[in-house]
Amino acid sequence: MKDLLIVSASPHIRGRLDISLAMKAVILALLPAWVFSVYVFGWRALLITVMSIVSCMISEAVMQRMLGKKITLDDGSAALTGILLAFNLPPGVPLWLPVVGSVFAIVFAKQLFGGLGYNFINPALAGRAFLMTSWPSFMTKAWLVPTGSTLSGIDSITSATPLTLLKNPANFGPPEVIIQRLNEMSTIKNLFIGKVGGCLGETSALLLLIGGLFLIIVGIVDYRIVTGYLVSFGVLALILPTKANLPFHLFSGGLFLGAFFMATDWVTSPVTKKGRWIFGIGCGVLTAVIRIWGGYPEGVSYSILLMNVFTPVIDRFTKERIFGEQKKGVKS
């Protein structure tokens, strides 16, 4: 026998799903919302997203090179972080902002913790939080009128998101005028379709819902986190004191983007089934509390980041029940 036989560990066949395919599926699911962002906010939205993707990928490659690791841009995870970060930025921010956010997300939140699989918080959200604390003026005021606008975007930094108006109507003029404006722009239809001010990729609940359901159907996103998040938030939005109704709360802000695409990040959410319910419900409760009582108009990103930190604890206390295991208290 000339060539030796190869001895490999069982199983000798593997499923089709790999990391790269999964990341591509998520990017595909985000594509409708991406295209829509260009439609409502103009080419500037595309420019911001591309800046963000490119700087994420460069940061990843440089870091992996410096750390002496294999460069794994082809797994698509850096590109996905770039898209998600851009989706979380107001469309009127200066073009260097996504670059800074990307570098922080990839270098500090991801690679320094060991790269893909080892980061304990969602890199895109970490990038957003970093930008929020460092340049709050851009991050909370650079909104664009959602009708398509000039490439520079400078002449239209005048709008505000529905949630900003709801939080502090007095900042924007005579309250009765503002409430009227809020009513005009925030018809449920507009909110659902996405023709409202907001972060680049968060405005269209409809398109995010389509993408999210696609991911649930193909089995990449776990329904437990999404359901736990939306239902717990919805219940609290109904029973807690707030000036807006339930559909307004559900369809405005980054709730759908967060619930379908950010909270469900594999690496930073629990692995157990029970844990995923707890994680989703925790996100929902925190989001409602921040939105209704907190200082920020929006609470999705901080809620998810906070729950990310709890993930190891949740996993530890929600171990799966092993087949044939007796219920607690029963001696076998």
By the criterion CB under 8 A, which residues form the site for another protein?
1-15, 17-19, 21-22, 75, 114-118, 222, 266-269, 271-273, 315, 319-326, 332
Q: At what angle do helices 205-217 and 223-239 cross, to 10 degrees?
A: 140
Question: Of the candidates 155, 138, 69, which has an alpha carbon nearest to the alpha carbon of residue 101?
Answer: 138
Yes or no: say if 165 and 211 are a contact pair by the CB < 8 Å rule.
no
CB of 202 to another protein, least distance (A): 24
Min CB(77)–another protein separation in Å: 8
Q: How large is the angle between the packed helices 43-66 and 77-87, nearest 10 degrees? A: 140
Cβ proximity to another protein, 14 vs 183, nearer residue: 14
Burial class (CB in 10 A: 0-12, 13-18, 19+), 133: exposed
Rounded to 10°, the helix 43-66/19-41 angle is 150
CA dihedral 34, 288, 173, 201 (to 10 degrees): 0
Q: Which of 59, 65, 70, 74 is nearest to 22 (CA)?
A: 74
CB 263 within 8 A of CB 225: yes
Tokens of 148: 């398509």
- Sequence letter at residue 314: I
* Contact between 225 and 269 (Cβ < 8 Å): yes
Cβ within 8 Å of residue 330, ≥6 positions away: none
Listing DSSP states for 175-232 in one string gives HHHHHHHHHHHT-HHHHHHT-S-SSTTTS-HHHHHHHHHHHHHTTSS-HHHHHHHHHH
For another protein, the closer of residues 145 and 225 by Cβ is 225
- Minimum CB separation of residue 60 from another protein in Å reads 14
Q: Report, in Å, the least distance between residue 269 CB and another protein.
A: 8
CB of 314 to another protein, least distance (A): 12
Comparing CB distances to another protein, the nearer of 36 and 279 is 279
**Which tokens is 274 given?**
């029970």
Least Cβ distance, residue 241 to another protein (angstroms): 38
Complex with another protein: residue 113 or 138, whichever CB lies closer: 113
Residue type at position 133:
T
Taking the least distance from each CB to another protein, the nearer of 171 and 326 is: 326
Answer yes or no: are the C-beta atoms of 74 and 125 closer than 8 Å: no
Q: CB 76 → another protein: shortest distance, Å? A: 12
Q: Which is nearer to another protein, 155 or 320 (CB)?
A: 320
**Minimum distance between the CB of residue 56 and another protein, rounded to whole angstroms?**
17
User: Given the complex with another protein, which of 114 and 174 has the nearer CB atom?
Assistant: 114
User: 11 or 241: whose CB is closer to another protein?
Assistant: 11
